[in-house]
Amino acid sequence: MTADPPGAPSFRIRELRWTDFDDLIRTYWLLYEERDAGYPIGIGLFQERPTLADEARWFLRLFEQVQDGSMVASIAEGDGHAVGGCYVHRVGPSETSEAAHMGELGILVHRDWRGRGVGSALLRDALARCRGKFEIVRLAVFVNNPRARALYERFGFVPYGRLPKALHRGGEFIDEDLMYLDLGRRDENR
């Protein structure tokens, strides 16, 4: 799948690979630079950047959850590197839990690839992979991230509440809008 204008580097969406670790961690670690420079980023971070060992444990759990079917992962690849990911993990603790029909969505795009349609392509692919696995997909978006909220609304996500002071960053609190998508009602033409 390509979505870039002519002459721009193209990307494709694919499944998660074990070899994506280095690229995805570098993309995540760049968010700490963006936060420290005062840019509004849409992901909650730790006070200090996690260690490589912490990230290896995170990636191992991610990979295991994809393999055991409790998570959906779509990866954007551009110029031979993973440049973004969209993940939907099961909310319930197991397939037999009463909340197993819900998934929680998170998305990350490398700063050099934002604004090129990567987020839309990741979201489209991840939601397609969710069909038959989840009935409801929920997410949280910071109120200072209207671009992300508009993307989610284009895909049919609707707000169901706001969590005040969800994040404390740089001496300020940021509220979070809570949104969900009922996959049974989703417009297939998005």
pLDDT tens per residue across all 190 residues of the chain: 444 445 555 999 999 999 999 999 999 999 999 999 988 888 889 999 999 999 999 999 999 999 999 999 999 999 999 999 999 999 988 888 898 899 999 999 999 999 999 999 999 999 999 999 999 999 999 999 999 999 999 999 999 999 999 999 988 999 999 999 999 875 543 4
Fold observed for domain 11-182: Aminopeptidase (3.40.630)
Ramachandran angles phi, psi of 24, nearest 5°: -70, -35
What pLDDT, on the 0 to 100 scale, is given for residue 81?
97
Residue 28 contacts residue 42 (beta carbons within 8 Å): no
Dihedral angle sign, alpha carbons of residues 137, 166, 121, 20: negative
What pLDDT, on the 0 to 100 scale, is given for residue 190?
47
Which DSSP symbol is given to 62?
H
Which DSSP symbol is given to 114?
T
What pLDDT, on the 0 to 100 scale, is given for residue 185?
74
* Closest among 49, 76, 60 to 21, alpha carbons compared: 60
